[in-house]
Amino acid sequence: MKKFLATVALFLVPVVLAVGVFGAVLYNSGEWRTEEEIAQRVLDGEPAFLGLAYRDNTRYYKHLVASGKAADFLVLGTSRSMQFHGEFFATDSFYNAGGAAAYVHEFRFFLENLPPESLPDTLLVVLDQYFFEEGWSNVAALPELDYSHYEFDLPVALSETIRGWAQGKYSILEALQPHPDVYGMAAVGRGSGFYADGSYSYGSLMDHPEEGTDVGFHDSFDRIARGINRFEYADEVYAPSLEIIGDLVDFCARNGIQLVGVIPPYAPSVYQRMMETGRYGYITQLPQALGQLFEPYGFELFDFTYMPDTADEEYIDGYHGGDRVYARLTLHLAEQSQTLSGLIDTDYLNAALADSGNPLRLAPVT
């Protein structure tokens, strides 16, 4: 019996050591910390950088911060709005709630659930094209909305931490180093996550785009060929989605919010491939359809679906522009938008758009 127990103990030693090491990595990363805790650190002025890898409750986190921050200028949209960085704007009262609206009905829901005193003076909404295509945004199939806490699942997180190391996503030695103000395995391992202003960094992917999931836009081109997953075909703008945005516009007007809408860009070759199919008629109709909702209130709408002054290599994938794309887009807004022109730091943007040696990164500005 003693020999058996000794054998079992000997077998378990490396298992316990491995669990201890990866447990230490997980603990040191701060992956286990709650959205409430990190939101409070941001509100307390800490430069908290949050990149969780094993749970995603971006909507809840962004709503917590936006509720407490009560920024005068708010950005709201999907992941295609996250590259509007605070440095782009000449205001200290800024927050990017990008990622809090994955579907068309989430914009108004987000705002209605803010404390009245936290509603912004100016709202920049990024309206993805596929919000207005029935195959993606079928109103009858949209998910029910709520903001709730997600529990940290230790067994899942531990197994994924081990898997991530085996796949070469991070170094154990580097992960065990101190990471002040950095929380989450994605932030620690890849440098990807949300800054305190709510904007997003793609981290190491910006230096190694060959490691992405849409290299050469092969995935985007496949979606276009098949008409799936945000690239569904449609000849007409989906009227129920327009009605939902009409309600958003009314809400902003009633609450004294200056609304600016942006239709975000596709990579040039992806846009061209879409147009070659002749099956995306709704996209060319969208600016006029949305404009008819915005114009009666004096609200502005800008269509950046195709930006010929950007290059394919400046895009993370077929429909996510990098920092340089959004810096250039913001400069266009400074020229075209009466609402935003005084809020945009054109000196910073022009300096940041100097050659950085990397088509995805801005030049450092001192």
Q: What is the pTM for the complete model shown?
A: 0.92
CB-CB contact of 134 with 36 (8 Å): no
Q: What is the mean pLDDT of each run of 10 residues along the chain (366 residues)?
A: 50 58 84 93 96 90 97 98 98 97 95 97 98 90 82 82 82 83 93 97 94 95 97 97 97 98 98 98 98 97 98 98 98 97 96 96 93
Sign of the C-alpha dihedral computed for residues 274, 278, 281 and 284 taken in this order: positive
pLDDT of 125 = 98
Separation CA 65–CA 365 (nearest Å): 27
Q: For residue 305, what pLDDT is reported? A: 98
- Evaluate whether 195 touches 248 at the Cβ level (below 8 Å): no
* CA 25 – CA 79 distance, rounded (Å): 28
| Rounded Cα distance, 198 and 217, in Å | 27
Strands across the sheet with 94-96, in order?
Answer: 94-96, 73-76, 122-126, 258-263, 300-303
d(CA 143, CA 156): 25
Count of alpha carbons within 13 Å of 191, Cβ hemisphere only? 9
Do 149 and 34 touch, CB atoms closer than 8 A?
A: yes
Through-space distance between the first and last CA atoms of the chain, rounded to whole angstroms: 70
Q: How many whole angstroms separate alpha carbon 160 and alpha carbon 164?
A: 6
**In the numeric block, which tokens belong to residue 318?**
């077929």
Residue 49 sits at φ, ψ, to 5 deg, of -115, 115
What distance in Å separates the CA atoms of residue 123 and residue 136, rounded to the nearest whole number?
Answer: 25
- Which pLDDT score, from 0 to 100, does residue 1 have? 57
Segment holding 126, helix H or strand E: strand 122-126
Compute the C-alpha angle 263/97/299, nearest 5°: 45
Give the residue from 136, 134, 139, 129 showing the smallest Cα distance to 274. Answer: 129
Residue with tokens 């990622």: 99
- In whole angstroms, give the CA distance from residue 161 to residue 53: 9
